[in-house]
Structure 1
Amino acid sequence: MSTPIISANGRKGRIAVTPRSISDGGHPALRQLEMAGYDVVYPAPGAVPTERQLRKDLPGCVGYIAGTEILSGPLLAEFRELKAISRNGVGVDSIDVEAAKRLGISILTAPGANSQGVAELTIALILASIRSIPWHDGQLKAGQWNRRPGRELAGRVLGLIGCGQIGRRVAGMALGLGMKVLAFDEYPMASFNPSEDFSWASLETVLSSSHVISLHVPPADEPVIGPKSIGLLQEGVAIINTARASLIDDDAVLAALNSGQIGFLATDVFRSEPPEPSPLVSHPNVIATPHIGGYTRESVDRATWAAVDNLLQALANQH
């Protein structure tokens, strides 16, 4: 099937669009690209593109609204006309940023566009974990009347590792549910003090004092939840990861789930998407969602308009 093109004139070149949430071409913000005089191409409508699909459709593109696909330095070097890559979010760890800089390709992000959606999913995963909602749903649909005792959030401690735009929203919601919140951040915002039940703390204190731990940091040199840190955790702690798959050590977390040291894992992110079948993903105390944190109508709208505006501005500055 040939690649769809929505612009008829293409006076200024081509722009590729790959985020799964908009790569069917239906979002109204993409019309701005056409109105600005660009052809718009979709290498893999509704899916994460392969390198083969990118090699087929990116040559000749001056702009690129990118999803979560891996963009290595050697791959970027093949697209000589490319001037700017715009993300409909903040994550750039799938892009070789240093190579892009050497090649003169601008990298643009949309800070805050997905924050509310990710924060709300975080709270949903916390509730789903401690009340075993997916497990109970599966039991009932299988014709079984089985129950697990849950826990109440009021009075429990939520530990936030990373307290930026998403973490601060999660903190506010958790406080509204009656939780106490401990937050660690390498660059804490001293002015953020929403309640007497909120406090900044060291990483070790967050790890050792929390009933629920939620991750909201970029990739680190080593997993935040791994062999070194799991020994600090309270028994039965729930781990929520809506940030990056590399923040947890899969083998160590699986062992901790089996021993009961970790009670629950809820994750929206995976090293490869979709993930390969694994004992971790299929574990009865794991809730796995297919990277839906920013996949709300509101988040998609904010992120898409921001990505389009950023890209058009960057391309305009090239002239």
Structure 2
Amino acid sequence: MPERIVVTPRSAHGHPAVDRLRAAGYEVVFPAPGAVPTPEQLQDALAGSVGYLAGVEPVPAALLRAAPRLRAISRNGTGADAIDLVTAEQLGVRVLRAPAANAQGVAELTIGLMLAAARSLPFAAASIRAGEWGRREGVELSGRRLGLVGAGQIGRRVARVALALGMSVRAFDAYPDASFRPEGDFAFAPLDEVLSGADVLSLHAPPADKPVIDGPALAALPAGAILVNTARASLVDEAAVLAALDAGRLRAYATDVYAVEPPGVTALTAHPAVIGTAHIGGYTRESIERALSAAVDNLIDALDSDRERSGDD
């Protein structure tokens, strides 16, 4: 009887990349085809499985312990903060990622949100849809400074486009890549310098134990700055952002990520200066294709290498 792999990303159901799992000799199980599985559905499916091609659903310690045969989890993206990584390591379950697969999609969304915030595009479109002629004075990005918190695959793409728009860019990164020298006014800088000069601040850092953008960080930004978050909700103190918006210190907050997803209607999501999208950064045809293909290949490689080691033993 073939070993079982559980597949949960909605985009994977019916996708030809999944056929490679079957061709490699594995049984493929979809606990909730085309939908996010419930914890109960997922636990039942994983109970006898060796592999798990995971979506965005939480993978807590209890779920991992209930899957004694599980050897590898492959994410169709970069983030793995929904997985209890400590428990996975303790149990010997490898956690695999698809780095940079969605970088272009997230970078393009970031630029789109910057432009939408600078020109109040959601307000303008809603006004016309309502038969009105609402206009708000915008700001041009050319000649302004973009601050980046995180300059990895996504941040570097955003920097290049911002420079092409005529912006200057200052980036803070815990491990700056000295080989990144794009044409234009770009430099790595300490976080306080990035914050103090950022007309637009865009976040592209990994998850944080505590917010990087809190009250003091927001106070350090120039008045009327735009904050864009397509990274992780944990990077931002949402209460502090709401206070800055209410006080007029921030022109806009554009976000694709939330502490709870979906967030429902909150004081922040309903604020007129907030532009919210439904975690769509990597939700492009091209990003899905790259991420799913990489996740499938990573999972096959990991499980096949385990098979080979077992055979050697």
Sort the TM-score into its range (normalised by shorter chain).
over 0.9
Q: What SS class does the counterpart of residue 127 from structure 2 fall into?
A: helix
Q: How does 1:162-311 map to 2 (within 5 A)?
A: 162-311=150-299
Alignment pair present for 1:157 and 2:145: yes
Tell me the equivalent position of 1:26. Answer: 14
Alignment pair present for 1:85 and 2:73: yes
Alignment pair present for 1:96 and 2:95: no
Q: Report the Cα offset of residue 73 of structure 1.
A: 1.3
Q: How does 1:113-124 map to 2 (within 5 A)?
A: 113-124=101-112
Q: What SS class does the counterpart of residue 135 from structure 1 fall into?
A: helix
Q: Report the Cα offset of residue 44 of structure 1.
A: 2.6
Tell me the equivalent position of 1:63. Answer: 51
Deviates more, 1:222-231 or 1:147-156: 222-231
Any unmatched runs of 5+ in structure 1?
Answer: 1-10
Alpha-carbon distance between aligned partners in 2 of 1:196 and 1:143, rounded to the nearest angstrom = 42
Do the aligned partners of 1:163 and 1:184 also contact (CA within 8 Å) in 2? Answer: yes
Q: What SS class does the counterpart of residue 263 from structure 2 fall into?
A: coil
Q: What SS class does the counterpart of residue 217 from structure 2 fall into?
A: helix
Identify, as 1 or 2, the structure richer in helix. 2
Alpha-carbon distance between aligned partners in 1 of 2:264 and 2:40, rounded to the nearest angstrom = 21
The amino acid of 1:14's aligned partner reads R
Alpha-carbon distance between aligned partners in 2 of 1:21 and 1:264, rounded to the nearest angstrom = 32
Alpha-carbon distance between aligned partners in 1 of 2:48 and 2:209, rounded to the nearest angstrom = 36
Tell me the equivalent position of 2:25. Answer: 37
Do the aligned partners of 1:21 and 1:295 also contact (CA within 8 Å) in 2? Answer: no
Alpha-carbon distance between aligned partners in 2 of 1:198 and 1:221, rounded to the nearest angstrom = 29
Alpha-carbon distance between aligned partners in 1 of 2:109 and 2:184, rounded to the nearest angstrom = 25
Do the aligned partners of 2:77 and 2:102 also contact (CA within 8 Å) in 1? Answer: yes
Do the aligned partners of 2:209 and 2:234 also contact (CA within 8 Å) in 1? Answer: no
Alpha-carbon distance between aligned partners in 2 of 1:305 and 1:111, rounded to the nearest angstrom = 12
Deviates more, 1:180-189 or 1:53-62: 53-62
Tell me the equivalent position of 2:311. Answer: none
Tell me the equivalent position of 1:4. Answer: none
Q: Report the Cα offset of residue 196 of structure 1.
A: 3.7
Do the aligned partners of 2:77 and 2:99 also contact (CA within 8 Å) in 1? Answer: yes
Q: What SS class does the counterpart of residue 264 from structure 1 fall into?
A: strand
RMSD: 1.1
Tell me the equivalent position of 2:119. Answer: 131
Alignment pair present for 1:145 and 2:128: no
Q: Report the Cα offset of residue 35 of structure 1.
A: 1.1
The amino acid of 2:146's aligned partner reads L
Alpha-carbon distance between aligned partners in 2 of 1:248 and 1:50, rounded to the nearest angstrom = 28
Q: Give CA-to-partner distance per residue, 1:24-65, whole Å, 9 cap, x none.
A: x12110010111122212223333322122122221111111
The amino acid of 1:67's aligned partner reads G
Q: How many residues align?
A: 307
The amino acid of 2:238's aligned partner reads D
Q: What SS class does the counterpart of residue 100 from structure 2 fall into?
A: coil
Tell me the equivalent position of 2:310. Answer: none
Q: What SS class does the counterpart of residue 238 from structure 1 fall into?
A: strand
Q: Report the Cα offset of residue 291 of structure 1.
A: 0.8
Stretches of 4+ moved more than 3 A in 1?
none
Do the aligned partners of 1:266 and 1:286 also contact (CA within 8 Å) in 2? Answer: yes
- Calculate the TM-score normalised by the size of structure 2: 0.95
Do the aligned partners of 1:131 and 1:151 also contact (CA within 8 Å) in 2? Answer: yes
Q: Report the Cα offset of residue 19 of structure 1.
A: 1.9
Alpha-carbon distance between aligned partners in 2 of 1:102 and 1:282, rounded to the nearest angstrom = 42
Q: What SS class does the counterpart of residue 160 from structure 1 fall into?
A: strand
Tell me the equivalent position of 1:8. Answer: none
Q: Report the Cα offset of residue 271 of structure 1.
A: 1.9
Q: Give CA-to-partner distance per residue, 1:279-300, whole Å, 9 cap, x none.
A: 1011111111111111111111
Q: What SS class does the counterpart of residue 44 from structure 2 fall into?
A: helix
Q: What SS class does the counterpart of residue 61 from structure 1 fall into?
A: coil
